[in-house]
A and B are shown apart, each in its own frame.
Chain A
Amino acid sequence: MPRSYDNSVFINCPFDSAYRPLFEAVAFAVYDCGFYPRSALEVDDSSQVRIDKIQTIIRQSRLSVHDISRTQLDTTNRLPRFNMPLELGIFLGAKAFGSGDQKRKAAVVFDTKPYRYQKYISDIAGQDIRAHGRKPTEAIREVRNFLATQCAAGVILPGGDKLAERYRHFRKRLPAACREVHVDPTKLTFSDLTNLIVGWLEAHPLLTGG
């Protein structure tokens, strides 16, 4: 199935090593549910301003996963990071003020705990905000449940437990697969990661019991 506006999922999350397991899990779940993850990391064009890249991806994505769990004070400068809430705002703005397909946008918002967002970004009350507790398998379940509501009529996605089990299998063997293609599993580019995920999915199709 080719990538399209309808099946593109913009992932708005931190990219640091601590968040990496969650990022990989969310990207894996999006693919395993038959959708396409999109990220600011997919474009390597230094001439393009970062916010322009993000706006382009948001325009091309009907769906999105926003993780605002990293909204916390930085230990060095005592300021919160606001990239993720900003990008969530752009997505909500595109839905509110855009025309045509942009009106059909849908998003899920993750935080570490339920209702924590009310203390720093209460205006988003009423959005679909879920807690992953920093657990990749919980993030997978929540992404699956969100995407299950966005599938075409008659499509049933595998359950969250099944997807989590497949992700664990993928993650366990990832270092060995990386050795085969001569890359460091801790330094994967977004392109490397997504191609490794798609390669795994092709080698383990769900319908044959993979």
Chain B
Amino acid sequence: MAKEVLRTVQPAHKSDRITVAQAKRAWLKVEAESRNGGSNTRGKSKPASTGRAKKS
């Protein structure tokens, strides 16, 4: 039956609503991570120093 097949975006359900405040926080976090090169790569691009001096 083709009826309603084309209306697949879900109606709003109050129980699982995202609030605007939650959404805004999510966007700000995503933007901050994007500016920092992504949370998954944070700290990995530059290996920690071993403290040893380079041999000349």
Contacts and interface: CB of A to CB of B under 8 A. Distances in A.
Given A16-B8, A43-B11, A187-B10, A181 B26 contact: yes
A177 B26 contact: yes
Interface string B1-41: 01001111111111011111111111111110110000000
Interface size class of B (residues with CB under 8 A): 20 to 34
A32 to B, nearest CB: 14
Interface in A60-91: 70, 74, 76-77, 79, 81
Given A74-B2, A173-B31, A41 B9 contact: yes
A183 B13 CA distance: 13
Contact of B18 (A43, A183, A203): A183
B39 to A, nearest CB: 9
Nearest to B38: A176
A44 interface: yes
A41 B26 contact: no
B13 A195 contact: no
Contacts of B34: 173, 176
A117 interface: no
A177 B30 CA distance: 6
B28 A195 contact: no
B10 A41 contact: yes
Contacts of B6: 14-16, 19, 70, 81
A71 B9 CA distance: 19
Nearest to B26: A180
Nearest to A81: B6
Contacts of A4: none
A195 B20 contact: yes
Interface of A: 14-17, 19-20, 23, 41-44, 70, 74, 76-77, 79, 81, 173, 176-178, 180-181, 183, 187-193, 195-196, 198-200, 202-204
Interface of B: 2, 5-14, 16-31, 33-34
6 contacts: A176-B34, A189-B12, A191-B13, A193-B9, A202-B20, A202-B24
